[in-house]
Amino acid sequence: MKTWIKFCGTTSLDDALASIAAGADALGFIFAPSKRRITPESAQGIIEQLPSMVERVGVFLNASPEEIRRVVGLVELTGIQLHGNEVAVEVRQALPGNRSSLRIIKTIVMGNGMAKVATALAAGEAVDAWLLDSGAGSGQPFDWQAARAQMGERQGRLIIAGGLTPGNVGEAIRTFSPWGVDVVTGIEREPGHKDPKRLKAFVDAVRKAEQS
């Protein structure tokens, strides 16, 4: 199975094009407080110059459904990542009719003594994928083995994030066999600026792990 790869924290057209050239399936645009925050207008300016097949995911943190609707009206996104306390069904109901099919990704933050992953997956919230992360912009991996143990045999469309690098993403894939992986810090030369060599190394490591 080919692993979906999202490079998040896109802030410039050069970085977006480098990410695509390296093999990313999706780019993330952060509309929440962050060193990598981008305005909807700037994000749309980048997106207008990208190939249409590249997915564009807007990242939100504790945003109201009305605010998400406003941004979706300004930016040609293909997906939404909810990193806070947002309720997916409320967000989807708030979307304009012609955008109601946008992919919704819901984050489970694994810090603070480890989230109850199995409980979250069992809740069956109306999301298209769950993203397991160690916390916004932490750059540190969570305890993969503990998370795997908590999940038991329960399956879901999982995206692994938090502290991924070209050096450890293979282990993450072997541990979880996830649907996707999401990375920011591990592919940057400094916050908000991608490193083309790390982008390519990350994709290469993912593809190699898929064969093992």
DSSP conformation class of 38: -
Q: Is the pLDDT of residue 204 over 60?
A: yes
Residues 207, 205: Cα–Cα separation, whole Å: 6
Catalytic residues: 8, 128
The three-class DSSP label of residue 194 is strand
Domain contains 190: no
Domain contains 1: no
Q: Return all residues near 126 (Cβ < 8 A) that are at least 6 apart.
A: 88, 89, 92, 104
Q: Is the pLDDT of residue 185 over 90?
A: yes
**Residue 113 pLDDT level (bands cut at 50, 70, 90):** very low
- Cα distances (Å, whole numbers) of residue 38 to 4, 9, 29, 198, 211: 23, 8, 7, 22, 36
Domain contains 209: no
What is the pTM for the complete model shown? Answer: 0.93
**Residue-range definition of the domain harbouring residue 19:** 8-102
Q: Using the 3D structure, point to which of 102, 127, 143 is the last residue of a domain.
A: 102
Residues 76 and 91 grouped into a single domain: yes
Residues 39, 4: Cα–Cα separation, whole Å: 25
Q: Using the 3D structure, point to which of 45, 80, 102 is the last residue of a domain.
A: 102
pLDDT of amino acid 124:
60
Q: How many domains does the chain have?
A: 2
Residues 142 and 173 grouped into a single domain: yes
Q: Which helix (H) or strand (E) holds 62?
A: none
Q: Is the pLDDT of residue 63 over 60?
A: yes
